[in-house]
Amino acid sequence: MYHYNNADHQLIAERVEQFGSQVQRRLNNELSEEEFKPLRLMNGLYLQLHAYMLRVAIPYGTLSSDQLRKLAVIAQRYDRGYGHFTTRQNIQYNWLELEDVPDILVELAEVEMHAIQTSGNCIRNVTADPLAGVAADEIEDARVFAEIVRQWSTLHPEFSFLPRKFKIAVSAAENDRVLLRSHDIALRLHRNDVGETGFEVMAGGGQGRTPVLAPTIREFLPQADLLSYLEAVLRVYNQLGRRDNIYKARIKILVMETGAEAFAAKVEEEWARIKDGALFLPEADIARIKADFAPPIYDDLDDTDPALAADLAKNPNFARWVRSNVDTHKQPGYGIATISLKPPGGIPGDVTAEQMEKIAAIADHFGFGEIRVTQKQNLVLPSVRKRDLYAVWLELDEIDLAAGNAGLLTDIVACPGLDYCNLANARSIPIAQRLSERFHDLEEQHDIGEITLNISGCINACAQHHTANIGILGVDKKGTEHYQITLGGRADGGDAIGTIIGPAFTAKEVDGAVDTIINVYLDQRQDGETFIAAIGRLGLEPFKEKLYAAA
């Protein structure tokens, strides 16, 4: 994986010192909150309902076991013994005190981690395919380009005070695991008709109040032009993005109001001026970064492993876990193992310090010391020998993280919601817990098949419920928490924004409503079609009928 060079270390060290002194000035009342707030936001420090929350960046969701161990230590030493993995591959600590934050940043720096630009109106953590480097359906390792974009965007002087936050995602695989069209900019590496690899560039996507699927503004961008083109997009946005209304300040509004074609033309105009300048990326530079992402030395194995076959035969629970949680690895004899952070009744994305330590050890023992964070708030051991999967599963079971529900109904994505977040109208975690308990039966979940269910506690949609097959949005209806259900969202290439199906439900009614929805699907599905395919065929009427049938 990418390792810090001297420049990176120096930047972090300087930044840690700078923020440390800013915190001191704040604690001594030399800085008012108004002056301090933009500074702490640029360092990922939020004030939430109960305490300060620090969002630590995990660039493109890649962690070494040492880094995960450090995250565990921080959870124990400065927080309440756990952390929360987010839908943008970061980790959040919820219980911090201001005066501890500089020390935390020093500790993070020791393992080449930081919280720079994880909040504020700047370019945020660049997310990438969580299975990059090992996925069978990729053409290149997306993280190479995510790293290049990360460097370019770090403390970019021109783009540190944008109209609003800016989120970039990179994928180089056939399947979209990053929610490309929900991003401000998305880059999809692909091969064109003449066999060249370059990026499809999408701009102006987003969830939130006005969900929009990003249109394509450039079908093919050569790799060498990646940074100059991005700079052109950001420069146009920085100048023309709305600053009169924070709810209209994202680039999606600018693209919508300008029109995608006209917007693309503006970008091309700026780009023409700078494309041959200092941001041009020679192949040698790209190759140098690629070398940092060279795969580990794999064993030379057959793809079919008799040990695994035997393990599958003797343990049906294990077999079920493999079915849902293990993906095809590009290297014969290896598998990609998802650690579901959604045990029945659990809090999606939360991991204790003890669990983190154990996962780090498992990664060291069985997985080249590498862990990934996914956009579904799960973790991944990207390279596990097939013969070791059973041992891994047993070890995960010891720490209650062997739920075989990846990609199934109880693989729920939920924001922290009103239990933690200042912006929330309703709680999301208890809803996730009730649903995961109600539907915990794995045989039933496998019968239901592939499905996505996301729960957001407010209109900001941090759980990305708009593009979930079943989306749940918490609202405040006359002082009580209510939940609006949307159906038909998807972020799988056939992207769509879900449709609200009717009046909101109370907290107690939600799991019954989901049950009704699932039953309509089970009753009416044809030829083994997935849930989302059935919605496409049936439309929403059958679901509305059953949900809102007169009593």
Partner 1 sequence: MTQIVITANRAREGCVVYLAGPGIWSKNLSDALVIEGKDAADALLSGALRDAAADAIIGPYGFPVSVNNDGITVLSQREKIRIHGPSIQIPSAREKQHVPL
Partner 2 sequence: MPLLKNGQFIDDLWFEVEALDHVPADTPLLVSLEQWRQHRDALSQHVVPLGLRLANDQSPELVAEDLRHFTLIALDFPKFTDGRSYSYARILRERYGFEGEVRATGNILRDQLALLQRCGFDAFVVPDRAESEGWVAAFTEISVIFQPAADTYSSRREAVRQRPERTRARALRIISSDTVAARWAY
Residues in contact with partner 2 by CB under 8 A are 5, 7-8, 10-11, 14-15, 17-18, 22, 30, 35, 38-39, 121, 148, 151-163, 227, 235, 238-239, 243, 273, 276-282, 285-286, 288-289
Q: Taking the complex as a whole, how short is the minimal distance between the CB of residue 486 and partner 1, in angstroms?
A: 23
Q: Please say whether the beta carbons of 455 and 432 come within 8 A.
A: yes
- For partner 2, the closer CB: 278 or 551: 278
Q: Taking the complex as a whole, how short is the minimal distance between the CB of residue 460 and partner 1, in angstroms?
A: 16
Q: Which does 50 bind (CB under 5 to 8 A by kind): partner 1, partner 2, none?
A: partner 1
| DSSP state for residue 277 in the 8-state scheme | S
User: Virtual CA dihedral for 150, 154, 156, 161, nearest 10 degrees?
Assistant: 100
- For partner 2, the closer CB: 209 or 273: 273
Residue 181 in tokens: 């069209």
If we measure between CA atoms, which residue out of 258, 201, 225, 436 comes closest to residue 342?
436
- Alpha helices for 250-352 (secondary structure H): 251-258, 260-274, 283-292, 306-314, 316-325
Q: Taking the complex as a whole, how short is the minimal distance between the CB of residue 115 and partner 2, in angstroms?
A: 16
Q: Taking the complex as a whole, how short is the minimal distance between the CB of residue 280 and partner 2, in angstroms?
A: 5
| DSSP state for residue 24 in the 8-state scheme | H
Q: Which does 80 bind (CB under 5 to 8 A by kind): partner 1, partner 2, none?
A: partner 1
Q: How far apart are CA 301 and CA 334, in angstroms?
A: 8
Phi, psi of 363 (to 5 degrees): -60, -40
Q: Which does 433 bind (CB under 5 to 8 A by kind): partner 2, partner 1, none?
A: partner 1
The Cα-based distances of 417 to 47, 96, 124, 429, 438 in angstroms read 14, 18, 21, 7, 20
Q: How far apart are CA 223 and CA 343, in angstroms?
A: 41
Residue 81 in tokens: 């013994």
Q: Which does 97 bind (CB under 5 to 8 A by kind): partner 2, partner 1, none?
A: partner 1
Q: How far apart are CA 146 and CA 108, in angstroms?
A: 21
- For partner 2, the closer CB: 231 or 357: 231
Q: Which does 160 bind (CB under 5 to 8 A by kind): partner 2, partner 1, none?
A: partner 2
- For partner 2, the closer CB: 45 or 468: 45
- For partner 2, the closer CB: 278 or 297: 278
Q: How far apart are CA 310 and CA 323, in angstroms?
A: 15
- For partner 1, the closer CB: 58 or 424: 424
Q: Which does 239 bind (CB under 5 to 8 A by kind): partner 1, partner 2, none?
A: partner 2
Q: How far apart are CA 543 and CA 520, in angstroms?
A: 6
Q: Taking the complex as a whole, how short is the minimal distance between the CB of residue 33 and partner 1, in angstroms?
A: 5
If we measure between CA atoms, which residue out of 145, 45, 34, 27 comes closest to residue 96?
45
Burial string for 516-532 (b: 16+ CB within 10 Å, else e) reads: bbbebbeeebeeebbbb
Q: Which residues bind partner 1 (CB under 8 A)?
A: 26-27, 29, 32-33, 47-52, 73, 76-82, 95-99, 347, 350-354, 418-420, 424, 426-427, 429-430, 433, 479-481
Q: Taking the complex as a whole, how short is the minimal distance between the CB of residue 271 and partner 2, in angstroms?
A: 13
- For partner 1, the closer CB: 323 or 477: 477
- For partner 1, the closer CB: 131 or 424: 424
- For partner 2, the closer CB: 239 or 506: 239
Would you give the distance in Å from CA 195 to the centre of its chain?
A: 30
- For partner 2, the closer CB: 43 or 469: 43
Q: Which does 365 bind (CB under 5 to 8 A by kind): partner 1, partner 2, none?
A: none
Q: Which does 76 bind (CB under 5 to 8 A by kind): partner 1, partner 2, none?
A: partner 1
Q: Taking the complex as a whole, how short is the minimal distance between the CB of residue 31 and partner 1, in angstroms?
A: 9
Sole residue written with tokens 């996505």: 452
Residue 316 in tokens: 């049906």
Q: Taking the complex as a whole, how short is the minimal distance between the CB of residue 316 and partner 1, in angstroms?
A: 29
Q: Which does 361 bind (CB under 5 to 8 A by kind): partner 2, partner 1, none?
A: none
Q: Taking the complex as a whole, how short is the minimal distance between the CB of residue 417 and partner 1, in angstroms?
A: 9
Determine the 3-state secondary structure of 460 from DSSP.
coil
Phi, psi of 266 (to 5 degrees): -60, -40
Determine the 3-state secondary structure of 164 from DSSP.
coil
- For partner 1, the closer CB: 49 or 274: 49
413-414 and 379-385 strand pairing: unpaired
Q: Which does 492 bind (CB under 5 to 8 A by kind): partner 1, partner 2, none?
A: none
Q: Taking the complex as a whole, how short is the minimal distance between the CB of residue 459 and partner 1, in angstroms?
A: 15
Cross-strand partners of 52: 47, 96
Q: Which does 238 bind (CB under 5 to 8 A by kind): partner 2, partner 1, none?
A: partner 2
Q: Which does 460 bind (CB under 5 to 8 A by kind): partner 2, partner 1, none?
A: none
Residue 542 in tokens: 């059958």
Cα-based angle 382, 388, 140 (whole degrees, multiple of 5): 25
User: Virtual CA dihedral for 398, 403, 406, 410, nearest 10 degrees?
Assistant: -150
Q: Taking the complex as a whole, how short is the minimal distance between the CB of residue 90 and partner 2, in angstroms?
A: 20
If we measure between CA atoms, which residue out of 297, 278, 296, 2 comes closest to residue 128?
2
Residue 108's H or E segment, with its range, is: helix 101-110
Q: Taking the complex as a whole, how short is the minimal distance between the CB of residue 521 and partner 2, in angstroms?
A: 47
